[in-house]
Amino acid sequence: MHHFPSPADWRDQILYQVFTDRFENGDPSLDTAHPTAQIDRVHPKGLRGGDLCGIERRLDYIKSLGATAIWISPVSLNDAGGAYHGYAAIDFSQVSPHLGGMPALRSLIRAAHDRGIYILLDVVCNHMGRRITSSHGDYPRYRPPPHGYRMRWINPKRKYPPPFGTLRCFHNHGHIRRFVGDELVYGAVHGLDDLRTELPYVREHLIRIHRKLIADTDCDGFRIDTVRHVELDFWQQFGSAMRDEARSLGKNRFLLIGEVWDANDAAVARYVGRGGSHGGLRGGSCGGQPAPFALDSATDYPLHAALMDVLLHRKPPVLLAQRHDRLRNDLYDPTVNDQLLTFLDNHDVPRFLWRGHRDMSRGERLSYLRIGLTFLLTSQGIPCIYAGTEQGFFGGPDPANREEMTGRFNPHHRLYRLTARLAALRTQHVALRRGVQTYLQAAADGPGVIAFTRTFPGDSVLVILNTAPIRRPMRTIRTPFAPRTLLVDVLGIARPTRVDAQCRLAGRMIPPHACRVYCPA
């Protein structure tokens, strides 16, 4: 089997997140293929029929948007109660038949590779479904180690298939109630059966299963669920094994993105920074020997929190500058701090357009979404667009934020066109993908102007945004452009402007909710 090589640099990629069951029903004959779940178009958490064939059908739509990689939700066979989202596996070794099985997954990945698109699979090592319980009176109240419950199968005839068909493979401490301390690792998240990942037997089989998944599918990376609910040394062992497997297939930069749902940089950096060893996807060593981080990237919830505060809660843009300053401290290594996964929306948080100050009109929220998309696609990191954002989806908390895409693939939608334009700009300018991000102005007294440059040898871009609903002043700023360079707004909104002989751009008033991206004419 010929395997598709890794990209030269993952910072060059733009991800598109697909929630498979809610994306597109490509093969209606699969609607009855799940062994225990039926299509339910009424219940908010019902199965809708989206499948891997549907993603393959829409590859050109995704490519035209400008995305170069797709992150798809978990594909393993799930219990009926978790069939639609994929995060409650009963058999890791089986691609769910209602998604099309392994043949459909291989077909999708081949078709994506033919278009130059990479595929990341969402995988779960922390937990499985809901097949275990306890008869003890105060279960599922959390009991810290060394205490625990006597567990039993809910139905002795419905155990998990090998290799996880014994109760010994699972923690017995009850459910997580407070997301702190050892409860994070030993408790069951959302009541899902928590694998005892510290056991060598469990580790060995999780690693074997996922090495085989890489070899069998030719996928290009993993987005890994619930990372902070598993002990760090598991991820160090797992990450090394996945990289070894991928390298043996010619995939020298297999990407491992961890979901670390925490707005604290120290918590995120624990898995991709100095706390998780030294090195990284782009090199590095420890004691003369290569020693990669536990993972290569993580979901950038600290940036997401700052973006929500600045764009939707009317806080000053200086919070964004301060957050980028934290990326340069000792928590993160330079090989990691500019390849975190950045996002506005995902399947776990309410849609951007749903959030915000209670007195915001939909039009004002759309203005802020345009600012957010401009910031996302011109800033450092690996940007990710969640399916539906480009169509103006407005869903609230889970499961309302997991809307069906079927029939809503409009390439003429203004948000689709804006996203495609910004993605093309990012592709054209290496500075926007790999360049240093330097803030020239960031309002500190409420909503206002934020201006920053992305610079790379031979290429520079200037971005100016106004988060206020009124005109706000931009002071004279020193730019990286040559004296008297004529600058054009590549979004086609503002008139051309010129820097002076000292490479400065004169101060001016910036219109409300303005987005300007300047490049040399």
Which residue matches tokens 């990710």?
A: 384
Instruction: Using alpha carbons, list the distances in angstroms from residue 49 to 26, 55, 56, 100.
Output: 8, 12, 14, 11
| pLDDT reading at 285 higher than 80 | no
Which residue matches tokens 């990450």?
A: 239
Lowest-pLDDT range, 116-125, 149-158, 278-287, 504-513?
278-287
The predicted-structure confidence for 112-146, as pLDDT tens digits, reads as follows 999 999 999 999 999 999 999 999 989 999 999 99
Q: State the pLDDT at residue 359.
A: 82
Q: State the pLDDT at residue 333.
A: 75
| pLDDT reading at 111 higher than 50 | yes
Buried b (16+ CB within 10 A) or exposed e, 163-197: bbeebebbbbbbbbeeeeeebbbbbbbebbbbbbb
Neighbours of 242 (CB within 10 A): 25
Mean pLDDT within 325-329: 85
Q: State the pLDDT at residue 284.
A: 35
Question: Rounded distance, CA 484 to CA 490, Å?
Answer: 18
Token pair of 55 as six digits? 């993603």
pTM of the complete model = 0.96
| pLDDT reading at 290 higher than 60 | no
| pLDDT reading at 279 higher than 70 | no
DSSP characters over 322-345: HHHHHHTSTTS-TTTTT-SEEES-
Question: Rounded distance, CA 309 to CA 58, Å?
Answer: 34
Token pair of 308 as six digits? 């929500």
Stronger pLDDT, 333 or 380, i.e. the higher one: 380
Helix (H) or strand (E) segment spanning residue 430: helix 430-434
Question: Rounded distance, CA 250 to CA 65, Å?
Answer: 28
pLDDT, averaged across the chain: 94
Confidence tier at 281 by pLDDT (50, 70, 90): low
Confidence tier at 190 by pLDDT (50, 70, 90): very high
Helix (H, G, I), strand (E, B) or coil at 286: strand
| pLDDT reading at 47 higher than 90 | yes
3-class SS string, 169-227: HECCCCECCCCCCCHHHHCEHHHCCEECCCCHHHHHHHHHHHHHHHHHHCCCEEEECCH
Domains in the chain: ranges and CATH: 10-126+197-428 (3.20.20.80), 127-196 (no CATH), 434-520 (2.60.40.1180)
Mean pLDDT within 8-13: 97
Question: Rounded distance, CA 291 to CA 317, Å?
Answer: 37
Confidence tier at 292 by pLDDT (50, 70, 90): low
Give the phi and the psi of residue 365 in degrees, each rounded to 5.
-65, -35
The predicted-structure confidence for 385-440, as pLDDT tens digits, reads as follows 999 999 999 999 999 999 999 999 999 999 999 999 999 999 999 999 999 999 99
| Residue partners of 186: CB distance under 8 A and separation at least 6 | 144, 145, 171, 173, 194
